[in-house]
């Protein structure tokens, strides 16, 4: 049980970190900084402006909940450890 709990905690850390990095990349690739990179916006006489992007608040919340879940599993390591023969 202890090994499974430690592995699960580590996997939550890794997966939440990967999701947070992917979310940061999504925000960068859909932000106003992409306007100069669009070929049709470089044409003479063309004006491009950045209007808006859909709110990503719920995606930020998913990262926070992933981290909180990892903390919860990390806290459970202590209780599982206390039930093993390793703790005297």
The 3-state secondary structure of the chain reads CHHHHHHHHHHHHHHHHHHHHHHHHHHHHCCHHHHHHCHHHHCCCCCCCCCCCCCCHHHHHHHHHHHHHHHHHHHHHHHHHHCCCCCC
Is the same domain home to 2 and 44?
yes
Is the same domain home to 6 and 35?
yes
Q: In percent, how much of the chain has pLDDT > 90? A: 59
Is the same domain home to 81 and 65?
yes
Is the same domain home to 47 and 65?
no
Number of domains the chain is built from: 2
- pLDDT digits 0-9 by tens, 46-81: 888 888 778 889 999 999 999 999 999 999 999 999
Is the same domain home to 42 and 18?
yes
Average pLDDT, the chain: 91
Which residues form the domain of 3?
Answer: 1-52
């Amino acid at each position: 049980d202890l090994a499974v709990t430690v592995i699960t905690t580590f996997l939550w850390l890794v997966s939440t970190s990967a999701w947070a990095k992917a979310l940061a990349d999504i925000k960068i690739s859909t932000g106003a900084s992409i306007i100069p990179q669009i070929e049709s916006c470089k044409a003479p006489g063309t004006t491009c402006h950045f209007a808006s992007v859909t709110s990503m608040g719920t995606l930020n919340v998913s990262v926070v909940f992933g981290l909180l879940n990892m903390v919860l599993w990390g806290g459970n390591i202590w209780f599982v450890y206390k039930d093993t023969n390793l703790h005297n």
